[in-house]
Amino acid sequence: MIDGFRDRLAARRPLRGAFVSVPSPAVVEMCGHAGFDFVILDREHGPAGDETLENQVRAADVANVASLVRVPSRAPEHILHALDAGANGVLVPHLITADDAAAAVAAAHFPPRGIRGISTSTRAGRYGLVTPAALVERSRREVVVVGQIEDGAALPNVGEIARVAGLDAMFVGPADLSTSLGYPGQPDHPEVAAAIDAIRTTVESVRGPALANFARNEAEVARLAANGFTIVCLSSSAIMARRLADLATSIKG
């Protein structure tokens, strides 16, 4: 767990990250050494299991880059496993209501704030070498909970979700949102763009948490940052795949 990431998030500092979907600690380490502020280890769509995830978090710590885990669902056990591995926090997909967001926050924190079960024998507990009180205190200071807004059904509830205490950021999922609104593969469609802008303005109007979004390229990073998204994330798989395709084309003449 990298100290201070939650503070940078709360201060609305510009943060640039990379999704890592391939089950590779080396790619995580590469992203850290390259200079990204954080990585999102994708267990919603990626194939990594618990043991690989722990090694990916370990690689993030080695490279001094914060790690968030996009969990498969908001089920408490998924959030528990990610945080026991030592991740800085979780990205929870498909939040529809404020109750969904509150449940995700509760699952990420120990009592009395939440319902997370405690074990100091985990990596987060330094394999029994920290006290339960120290583990609870560090988690209170450092654990980050980010909720993903990516469904048409969530749009009427954005203001209420943004008011949930303990939700550190709201991450727009343009791919799923565009599909949910009937425009798969068209995140730039006017109706989708209007929905994303409505999310942003609603969150800002209630003084909600930091806003995050996904970018396909450098130009989109700049555009999103100019439009109020302080946290922007790219896909490490797409970066590598595009570069490999360009390279293969160029060397084949």
Query: Which listed CATH number (3.20.20.60, 3.50.50.60, 3.20.20.70, 3.90.79.10) goes with 5-252?
Result: 3.20.20.60
Q: For residue 85, what are the β-bridge partners?
A: none
| Class of residue 231 by CB neighbours under 10 A (exposed 0-12, middle 13-18, buried 19+) | buried
- Indicate the SS3 state at residue 85: coil
Which amino acid is located at 47 in the chain?
Answer: P
Q: List pLDDT tens digits, range 115-155.
A: 999 999 999 999 999 999 999 999 999 999 999 999 999 99
Q: List pLDDT tens digits, range 152-177.
A: 999 999 999 999 999 999 999 999 99
Residue 41 is given by DSSP the state: E
In the chain (253 residues long), the average pLDDT of successive 10-residue segments reads 89 96 97 97 95 97 97 97 98 98 98 96 96 96 97 98 98 97 95 97 97 94 94 95 93 83
Compute the distance between CA of residue 36 and CA of residue 24 in angstroms, rounded to an integer.
16
11 CB-near residues (< 8 Å, 6+ apart): none
Q: Which two tokens stand for residue 134?
A: 């120290």
The reply to whether 189 belongs to the active site is no
Half-sphere exposure of 99 (CA within 13 A, CB side): 0
Query: What kind and span of H or E run contains 175?
Result: helix 174-180
Check: CB of residue 41 under 8 Å from CB of residue 67. yes
53 CB-near residues (< 8 Å, 6+ apart): 41, 43, 69, 81, 82, 85
CA terminus-to-terminus distance, the chain: 46
Q: In residues, how long is the chain? A: 253
Catalytic residue among 45, 78, 81, 94: 45
Q: How far from 66 is each of 6, 184, 204, 208, CA to CA, in Å?
A: 10, 31, 25, 22
Q: Any idea of the CA torsion for 211, 214, 220, 222, to the nearest 10 degrees?
A: 40
Q: Which residue carries 């924190």 as its tokens?
A: 109
Domain ranges of the chain: 5-252
pTM for this model (two decimals): 0.95
